Amino acid sequence: MNAIELSVFASRMAAICDEMGAVLKCAAFSPNIKDRLDFSCALFDRHGQLAAQAAHIPVHLGSMAYAMADIVGEIEWRPGDMVVLNDPYLGGTHLPDVTVIAPVFVAQTLVGFVANRAHHANIGADSPGSMPISRSLEEEGVVIAPTLLVKHGQPVEAVLRKLCGTDTNANHTIAARGDFAAQISACRLGAERLAARIESLGASAYGLALDSLNDYAERLAREALRAIPDGDYSFTDFMDDDGLGLEDIPIAVSLSVRDGQVVADFSGTARQVPGNINCPLSVAAASVFYVLRCLMPEHTPACAGSFRPIQLSAPAGSMVNARRPAAVAAGNVETSTRMVDALLGALASALPERIPAASSGSMNNLAMGAAATAARGRWDYYETNGGGMGAGRNGGGLSGVQTHMTNTLNTPIESLETHYPLRITRYALRRGSGGAGERCGGDGLIREYEFLAPAQVTLLTERRRHAPWPLAGAEPGLRGENLLNGDPLPAKVSLHVETGDRLTLATAGGGGWGRPQPQRKD
């Protein structure tokens, strides 16, 4: 396959993922999927190796790429079937992220898989939004081992009832069924497109094209990673707390770089903790893949070959390779983000001109809702909030953006106020929160919610104790704050609010880069 044919092949594979994402976005019911775009789509070969992915959410895609082979190898696949799962210890991330996988058959032969992963705000936890301050996995909702969601082309009603409820008039049941229907539709579309692509090429030619794509991606990856000088680079960053009393929890990483081969070792990281900032190894892998992928050329194909030069090690039972039944709800969103900071910190000593300062360092998770009342059915809501991006040698950080392991949007105010008993009374940049420097860090956000009905609220946030670090003599970003009616709240907290209460999230700014320039005296 020549270079032009290979480029066309890669683009057509990625286009299938993009089209799957468009179907999922347009068909979904919940704001988490249709507005915030909290979903990801990917293609895999028949062994579960990543073949293509869209530019969706890094923590979803990296974890699927790491764990998919183990998942598909344990199932007897048949045409027309689809499997659903969310178990973090079997290839998932945290329980709200639900994955649907469909096999692709051509002439009765298994040739690959399509998959999507989407966030469900209600996955069965007692706490609205299914992001509780939890001590064990079971407190976080329904744990779905790989289970047939579609059999012989037809949805399995018993499984849908378990996942969505049985009251067809309930808002949650309708929305959940709509979201699962959207995930099923996206997989059907992807399977049809991939099967057509393979049939047009022929199975043998398709296999050779995939091999060529992976080999090309590996060459690009190794060449990019050779730009890192050979050596050993270490960094330790800290989680603020686990929500249950532990504070200043270390995440340590050492990078061993030898001729374009990188080994990331998390020895020295804290043991798994009582709170829910633990994560499975697949999430750690996603963080490593993301950071090193950022060093590769933009045109590097998003396939398994690009990960071949990367190895991962983390002690079993540590916070980043937790053992069941450790709680993991915040590990996927907060610990993954801190692992990125630690990895970038290690690389900053190797590539000081290319690595930016720390960004806001939190997805600033907000989950809320209330049980059904005479006036309103049960409602569940979840969103993440952006912050400041870290500055780099070539430019200041962006302000008010989602960074690193999340690639979602904010929920538009119009959508939020239409769906839920909430009013946004302030939404603005947090001016001056970015770290000063030759290049200033980006500013965080201020988002204030007024409650129009009583609700239960959970906050899972970070960078409230440890500020985003700067580089090259600059200043750190301003730490974040959580306030209820003007009074400070902990970084991680669950509380009841009444009608008229106002919750304010002020997110961290990014760290600056370079010593601030002295002010001119005219």
What DSSP letter does each residue of 140-182 carry, written as one string? GS----SEEEEETTEE-HHHHHHHH-S-TTSHHHHHHHHHHHH
Tokens at 316, concatenated: 């079993």
Collapsing DSSP to helix, strand or coil, 373 comes out as: coil
pLDDT at 378: 83
What's the confidence (pLDDT) of residue 291? 96
Instruction: With respect to residue 231, please indicate whether it lies within any of the assigned structural domains.
Output: no
Q: Residue 45 in contact with residue 51, Cβ under 8 Å?
A: yes
Please give the Cα distance from 228 to 230 (Å, whole number). 6
Average pLDDT over residues 8-22: 95
Q: Report the C-alpha gap between 359 and 91 in whole angstroms.
A: 27
Q: Which residues contact 15 (CB under 8 A, 6 or more apart)?
A: none
| Predicted structure pTM score | 0.94
Tell whether the model's pLDDT for residue 47 goes beyond 80: yes
200, 113 contact by CB (below 8 A): no
Residue ending a domain, choose from 218, 251, 267 = 218
Nearest CA to 478 among 515, 519, 429, 425?
429
Within 10 angstroms of residue 265's Cβ, the number of other Cβ atoms is 18
pLDDT value of residue 520: 61
Task: Quote the mean pLDDT of the chain.
Answer: 94
* Model pLDDT, residue 372: 76
Please provide the size of the chain in residues.
Answer: 522
Instruction: Quote the pLDDT of residue 174.
Output: 85
Q: Is residue 437 part of a domain?
A: yes
Does 58 score more than 80 pLDDT?
Answer: no
**Confidence category of residue 153, pLDDT binned at 50, 70, 90:** very high
In terms of Cα–Cα distance, which of 387, 391, 384 is closest to 358?
A: 391
pLDDT tens digits, one per residue of 311-340: 999 999 999 999 999 999 999 999 999 999
Residue 368 tokens read as 């809320």
Domain boundary among 166, 198, 218: 218
Q: Which two tokens stand for residue 319?
A: 């916070």
Residue 470 has pLDDT above 70, yes or no: yes
Intra-chain end-to-end CA distance of the chain, in Å: 65
56 or 176, higher pLDDT? 176
Q: Structure tokens of 40?
A: 């990801």
What average pLDDT does this structure show over 94-99?
94
**Is the Cβ–Cβ distance between 91 and 70 less than 8 Å?**
yes
User: Is residue 177 domain-resident?
Assistant: yes
CB 48 within 8 A of CB 66: no
Q: Is residue 30 situated within a structural domain?
A: yes
Q: Is the pLDDT of residue 2 over 70?
A: yes
Residue with tokens 């374009």: 260
Q: Select from 277, 302, 206, 327 the least CA-distant residue to 492.
A: 277
Tally of CA atoms within 13 A in the half-sphere of 338 that contains its CB: 32
Instruction: Tell me: pLDDT of 194 over 50.
Output: yes
pLDDT in tens, 334-348: 999 999 999 999 999
Q: How far apart are CA 358 and CA 50, in angstroms?
A: 29
Share of the chain above pLDDT 70, in %: 97
> How many other C-beta atoms lie within 10 A of the C-beta of residue 297?
9
Residue 303 lies in a domain: no
User: Counting runs of H as helices and runs of E as strands, what totals does the chain give?
Assistant: 9, 20
Q: Which helix (DSSP H) or strand (DSSP E) does residue 118 occupy?
A: strand 109-119
DSSP-derived letter for residue 451 is: E
- Please check the confidence at residue 66 and state whether its pLDDT lies above 90: no
Report residue 74's pLDDT band, with 50, 70 and 90 as the boundaries. Answer: confident
Domain assignment present for residue 360? The answer is: yes
In a domain, 248, yes or no: no
Last residue of a domain, one of 176, 200, 218: 218
CA 115 to CA 56: how far, in whole Å? 13
Number of independent structural domains in the chain:
2
The answer to whether residue 152 sits within a structural domain is: yes
Q: Which residue has the higher pLDDT, 235 or 1?
A: 235
Q: What is the pLDDT of residue 114?
A: 97
Q: What is the mean pLDDT of residues 249-269?
A: 98
pLDDT score recorded for residue 166: 64
CB 113 within 8 A of CB 46: yes
Q: Is there a cis peptide before residue 325, judged by omega within 30 degrees of 0?
A: yes
pLDDT of res. 169: 46
Domain that holds residue 504: 356-522
Whether the pLDDT of residue 144 is over 50: the answer is yes
Give 451's strand partners: 422
